[in-house]
Amino acid sequence: MLPAAPITPTAQPAPWEIVADTLFHYQEPEGIFAEGDAILSRPGSDLVIRADWMRYDVERGVVKARGQVLMISASEEIEADAATIHLDSQTGRLESATIFLAENEFYIKGETIDKTGEESYRIHQGWFSACLPEEENCGQRPAWSIRSKEAEVTLEGMAHLYHATFQVKEQPVAYTPYMILPGKTKRETGFLFPEWSSSDRDGFGFNLPFFINLSPSADVTLYPSYLSERGLLAGAEFRYEAGPGSRGMFMLSLLKDDLTDTDVDEYKSDGLLRTNENRYWLRGKADHDFGENLAGRLDFDLVSDQDFIQEFRDGAQGREESNRGFERMFKRSLQEETLTERESSLQMIKNWNIMTLAGEMHLVQDVQNDVLPGGGRLARPTTPLQALPRIDFSGRTPLLTGRRPLSLAWNSEYVNYWRQRGIGAHRLDLHPKLITPMPRSGGWTEGKVSVGVRETMYQVQTNQGAPWEHERFQDRTGFDLEANLATLLMRKFSLTRNEGQAWLEHLIRPNLIYKYASHSQENKLPSLDGIDRLGTSNQLTYELNNYLEMGGINRQEKNAENLWSQQIASFQLAQSYDLNEARREFSALVDEQRREFSDLRFDLSASPWERLSFRYQTNLSMYGQGINRYHLTGGYTLEQGTSFSTDYRYLKHSGMAEPYFYTTSGDSLHDLIGSITSPLTETITVHGGLTTSLSDNHISEAALGLRYKPHCWMVDLEFRRYIDEKTFMIIFTLDGIGPAFDWYKEKI
């Protein structure tokens, strides 16, 4: 190979250089011929052209190449039989060319490709697919491809295809005079792939989403959908991103329903008839960072009736897809579809070093339809409470420093509870505390003591003649004390390792907690939320906490040391003792028994291996009820990728609450939620889920799905059973394009 022949610089920052087996340099007009593995490149440019034969016109800045032409840049690889390229503008023509987009793993072929810009093309007799072309796949036909007579492609925008044919194994199955494909990394306005559905109640459904790119940080998607038995279901979704920590997503679905409930045809058979035709669901979330530690959060959920979300839970506008979008963007979910009171809130939070000020507007919408079969209506004495507004001010600041520091903590709240019908109130709740650590007794013990006073004041409101027999102005004064005393014991056990050192640490932390709370009588206070009925407390609790942690030092190169540690398990044994119950006087007319001990509580968390973690909690009654409660959660992943998760819980009486003193109120709850995902082969994965109530002996929800993922495409099949219906869904996804066919069938 001859040495590189430098090209005389023109207006370029640096000259182009050619390396080849044979080089010929002509002066008038200046040009270079190269044969035999010719390579054209320039320092500072990511474009490299390689071919068997090449001619470079220096004055015009044009290179012609033929014979195994290869063009490589940062965003693409092009193979062609021949090419003519203007190097300054990177325009020209390619003959029998294949473009591979590495970022998208997508192939574009054309008999003739006009390069109209650095990343734009006009293609004649085009071929598009994420599958390997036949000549690169040992003669095997690609699973799918799209052919078009003409196409205009912008790599950072969209591909516009004219007279396009969708092919399976190179056999045509569908034709369209015009099609848009995403060019991937940049968003552009255009239609998305349609969605089909079928249901006995809804009939045939068709949805053709249209995406509108408003700016690099905002977009709108329209969902015009038609249901043959229901009418036009219109939807819209707006998203924006204003900066780190500032984003929003809002969705609206509208339906003028041709179908309403009757005594004969009633959705869910719950005894409530939906008679409205104009139906809607408006949901949205937003976060905003105003700077200076001031943040806002918005969550709203408004719906026309109690059935809308449950009827339309699948598809692009359904609850399931909407919830996935909000979880991805905000890490928080929508409310359950079965709730008939929908909550919306606007919050503002300002943080300082020692305190926090938060404000909230909290609205509750009652969406339950009042109409009963026969025309009657449900009688509701009260409507939901609205917090308009709620203001919370809390913090903690040191008062004294030294060997025994003292600090002041406070938590104060004002709320205006308003309702259209029923009892509301203005309420001011003030709760300051003094906190100080306990003497350390030579370093053997640790703990703290807090003493608090609580004053709660009310101005009661009566709306629409709601009865109230007490004075409008009420108050409550309370006193609370909490003391915590603990110590820490530790032992380290040496473990044998081939390299470095390892040990197992066992930490035991006994903890004794005393809680006391008293207050004036609460029977003249309105009952609006949990603050209004605090109850008294005089309890002593002991905890025996155990922690197991592995650690060690790994020896590395050049005698460097790497310290590591991992907590593998924790175990807690706890029980409470009610001093008030122990001193309670019995009535002479009732056969009673003191039950001052709470359940004995066990809590075990462990992650002994990297792929296994679980937590098991259980309660043992001290008064003959046996096991009162247990709750098992966990997950395990096998090396081949199979994963299990479970949530298994039992509560003997639903009225039980921590610290679980004796009670017989409430029904038994016994539920099991489980899921499994298992790859059967490299291309087939099966998954399933089950939510069942063992106490009522019925399955709330069950799902079984199969995913087939060969090269360049994927199909998802899922059968899902709810309490009152069964649904089947099939989704085809094409690599580089996205979902291409989405169909679901309800009421099967």
- Residue pLDDT, tens place only, 175-199: 888 887 765 545 667 777 778 877 7
The reported pLDDT for the residue numbered 6 is: 47
Look up tokens 């006087």; give the residue: 585
Q: What's at 206, amino acid-wise?
A: F
Instruction: Name 236's bridge partners.
Output: 222, 252
pLDDT exceeds cutoff 90 at 747: no
The reported pLDDT for the residue numbered 46 is: 82
Q: Which residues, in sequence order, are CB contacts of 516 under 8 Å at separation 6+?
A: 479, 480, 481, 482, 537, 538, 539
Q: Exposure of 179 by Cβ count < 10 A (0-12 exposed, 13-18 middle, 19+ buried)?
A: buried
- Residue pLDDT, tens place only, 215-270: 888 999 999 999 998 999 999 999 999 988 899 999 999 999 988 877 777 776 66
CB 174 within 8 A of CB 165: yes
Give me the helices (H) in 259-354, please.
308-311, 319-330
CB 578 within 8 A of CB 661: yes
Sign of CA dihedral 549, 555, 559, 560: negative
CB 479 within 8 A of CB 518: yes
Rounded CA gap, 80 and 115, in Å?
Answer: 12
Closest C-alpha among 577, 625, 626, 574 to residue 598: 577
CA angle centred on 616, ends 615 and 619, rounded to 5°: 145
pTM of the predicted structure, to 2 decimals? 0.75
pLDDT band at 8 (very low <50, low <70, confident <90, very high): very low
The reported pLDDT for the residue numbered 11 is: 46
The reported pLDDT for the residue numbered 373 is: 56
pLDDT exceeds cutoff 60 at 167: yes
Closest C-alpha among 335, 205, 55, 288 to residue 744: 205
- Residue pLDDT, tens place only, 110-128: 999 999 887 789 999 999 9
Closest C-alpha among 580, 585, 592, 421 to residue 514: 580
The reported pLDDT for the residue numbered 83 is: 93
The reported pLDDT for the residue numbered 372 is: 55
Average pLDDT over residues 555-570: 74
CB 478 within 8 A of CB 518: yes
Average pLDDT over residues 651-680: 92
- Residue pLDDT, tens place only, 450-494: 999 999 999 999 988 889 999 999 999 999 999 999 999 999 888
Consecutive H or E run containing 437:
strand 422-437
- Residue pLDDT, tens place only, 273-305: 777 889 999 999 999 999 999 999 999 999 998
Rounded CA gap, 571 and 562, in Å?
Answer: 28
Full set of structural domains in the chain with CATH: 5-191 (2.60.450.10), 396-544 (no CATH)
Provide the token pair at 411.
């938590």
Q: Exposure of 138 by Cβ count < 10 A (0-12 exposed, 13-18 middle, 19+ buried)?
A: exposed
Write down the mean pLDDT value for the chain: 87
Consecutive H or E run containing 581:
helix 579-583
Torsion (CA) 648, 653, 655, 659 in degrees, nearest 10: -70
Average pLDDT over residues 368-389: 72
Look up tokens 């004055």; give the residue: 59
Average pLDDT over residues 136-159: 85
Rounded CA gap, 213 and 217, in Å?
Answer: 9
| Pairwise pLDDT comparison (671 vs 609), residue with the higher score | 671
Most confident of 152-161, 344-353, 695-704: 344-353
CB 427 within 8 A of CB 472: no
The reported pLDDT for the residue numbered 274 is: 79
Q: Which residues, in sequence order, are CB contacts of 695 under 8 Å at separation 6+?
A: 667, 668, 669, 670, 671
Provide the token pair at 242.
């204003």
Most confident of 569-573, 606-610, 679-683, 734-738: 569-573
Average pLDDT over residues 576-594: 80
Instruction: Name 676's bridge partners.
Output: 644, 688
The reported pLDDT for the residue numbered 705 is: 94
The reported pLDDT for the residue numbered 339 is: 87
According to the 3-state scheme, what is the secondary structure of 349-368? Answer: EEECCCEEEEEEEEEEEECC
According to the 3-state scheme, what is the secondary structure of 31-85? Answer: EEEEEEEEEEECCCCCCEEEEEEEEEECCCCEEEEEEEEEEECCCCEEEEEEEEE
Rounded CA gap, 33 and 63, in Å?
Answer: 10
Determine which of 424-438, 494-508, 652-666 has the lowest per-residue pLDDT on average. Answer: 494-508
For residue 267, the 8-state DSSP code is G
In a 13 Å sphere around the CA of 18, the CA atoms on its Cβ side amount to: 28
Pairs from 609-615 (Cβ < 8 Å, separation ≥ 24): 611/636, 611/637, 611/638, 611/639, 612/636, 612/637
pLDDT band at 7 (very low <50, low <70, confident <90, very high): very low
pLDDT band at 735 (very low <50, low <70, confident <90, very high): confident
CA angle centred on 558, ends 555 and 562, rounded to 5°: 35
Torsion (CA) 376, 380, 384, 385 in degrees, nearest 10: 160
Residue 545 — φ and ψ, nearest 5°?
-100, 135
Provide the token pair at 672.
């099991």
pLDDT exceeds cutoff 60 at 677: yes
The reported pLDDT for the residue numbered 628 is: 93
